[in-house]
Amino acid sequence: MLEIKDLWAGVDGEPILKGLSLTVNAGEVHSIMGPNGSGKSTLAHVLAGKEEYEATDGSVQYLGQDLLEMAPEERACEGVFLAFQYPVSIPGVSNTYFLKAAINAKRKYNGDQEIDAFEFMQMVKEKSKALNIDTALLNRPVNDGFSGGEKKRNEIFQMAMLDPRLAIMDETDSGLDIDALKVVADGVNSLRGDGRGFIVITHYQRLLNYIVPDFVHVLNDGKIVRSGGKDLAQELEEKGYRWLKERDEAHGG
């Protein structure tokens, strides 16, 4: 469903991704790991279409379309979902109102009718129960005054409600205690399959104990330097990113 070929991208003309290639097929969970500054978040933002990230070379095909040509909201309506590392707050706008606006935007894009209030509430009830989300959270303004854990749970809840085809998790595990981590992981696991693709970006192997990926890729200096199965994550955890760098240098870059 997603095919990234030799992608070069950066901010203010400064390249961060330097020839990244990655293919994600429907139903697969890919984990991207890498040290700070390797370009993990840049990849997430380029895929979601954040303005200041500019792709200068290479291509990204998503469901047969040129993803880079699409506006951010178009990508979202086509099923690309980004769970943010730092979800912003929108004071005065309730979570449910926001979600309804998002669902209706997507429906409008697809030429469908707006969701009716009853159907929407049923869906909220069902999904919040399945994900073990406190409904009190849903009536509060979007992420306003939320704790770190609440924000991440809210991202997972939005993901469940919006039913994406490609979900990108940008360091969703950062700053979470073990209980919150489990909730997030359970949420992702319950959404696995169904032809949905996942890109799980993380700094630590810890999350991958709960979300077991099909593939692990190591990103370093804007490129994928190594790919493998779930064992690669374990190896990294033991030896550290330094191990890869040293190995790279030994191979002459």
Q: Summarize as ranges the residues that interact with other proteins (CB under 8 A).
A: 48-51, 71-73, 75-77, 81-82, 84, 87-88, 90-93, 98, 101-103, 105-106, 109, 141, 158, 162
User: Among residues 142 and 233, whose Cβ is nearest to other proteins?
Assistant: 142
| Nearest residue (CB) to other proteins, 117 versus 250 | 117
Shortest approach of other proteins to residue 85 CB, angstroms? 11
Q: Which of 155, 163, 189 is nearest to 82 (CA)?
A: 155
| Closest by CA position to 33, among listed 177, 236, 178 | 236
Provide the minimum distance between the beta carbon of 105 and other proteins in the complex, in angstroms, as a whole number: 4
Residue closer to other proteins, measured from CB, 158 or 220? 158
* H-helix or E-strand spanning residue 207: none
Question: Shortest approach of other proteins to residue 152 CB, angstroms?
Answer: 14
Residue type, 175: G
How many residues are given for the chain?
A: 253
Six-digit token string for 95: 């979570």
Q: How far is CA 20 from CA 82, 91, 148, 195, in A?
A: 19, 37, 31, 24
The least distance separating other proteins from the CB of residue 209, rounded to whole angstroms, comes to 28
Which tokens is 181 given?
A: 């981590």
